[in-house]
Amino acid sequence: MRSVSDVPGGFIIRCNGVLWPPSFPSRVLAQGELVVTELWQYTKLIRSKNAGPFELTFDIMFKDCESFERVRKSGRLSAETISRLYGIPLDNIRLFVLEDLLTVKFSIPRAAFSGDVDDTDVYGGQFHGPLTTLTIE
């Protein structure tokens, strides 16, 4: 039997009495329950879009200062993480932290230019998906 229980700041998944998935980075509550928080829970907007035909830009706008600081201090939203998520070499990632706006932006080259026969999203609006479920410790 599988159940999902909501808890403040995350969720717990149990599958046949076992916490699942075991590989998620997480916080552990005093009761020993596994709590997983994801990037979307701290933001009011995560989006991707074209920055010309050869690049994508991503905007991550946080709900409040506390959320911004929690994610920033976790170190999970870094050029190294973006490199792993999107398979982009580190030197091709431009990362900007705009503290006054509670926003993180980054730009990466597109695998196929916008409108190319190999392009899967001509407007670049669907590439933000992997960011939404990025786990935050």
User: What is the tens place of the pLDDT at every residue in 29-74?
Assistant: 545 555 668 999 999 999 999 999 999 999 999 999 999 999 999 9
Do both 66 and 111 map to the same domain? yes
Distance between CA 33 and CA 130 in Å, rounded?
25
Q: Are residues 9 and 71 in the same domain?
A: no
Same domain, 24 and 69: no
Residues 15 and 63 in one domain: no
Domain count, the chain: 2
Same domain, 19 and 63: no
Are residues 14 and 52 part of one domain? no
Instruction: For residue 104, give the amino acid letter.
Output: V
**54 and 113 both lie in a single domain:** yes
pLDDT at 22 over 70: no
Coil, strand or helix: which one is 14? strand
- 72 and 109 belong to one structural domain: yes
Q: What is the DSSP letter of 36?
A: B
Per-residue pLDDT at 1 exceeds 60: no
Instruction: Mark whether 29 and 90 lie in a shared domain.
Output: no
Mark 81-109 as b/e (b = at least 16 C-beta within 10 Å).
ebbeebebeeeebeeeeeeeebbbbbebe
Q: Is the pLDDT of residue 14 over 90?
A: no
Which residue range is the domain that position 98 belongs to? 39-136
Say if residues 13 and 19 touch (Cβ distance below 8 Å): yes
> Tokens representing 131?
């960011």
- Whether 117 and 62 map to the same domain: the answer is yes
Q: What is the mean pLDDT of residues 78-105?
A: 96
Residues 30 and 43 in one domain: no
Q: How far apart are CA 102 and CA 61, in angstroms?
A: 6
Domain co-membership, 13 together with 56: no
66 burial class (0-12, 13-18, 19+ CB within 10 angstroms)? exposed
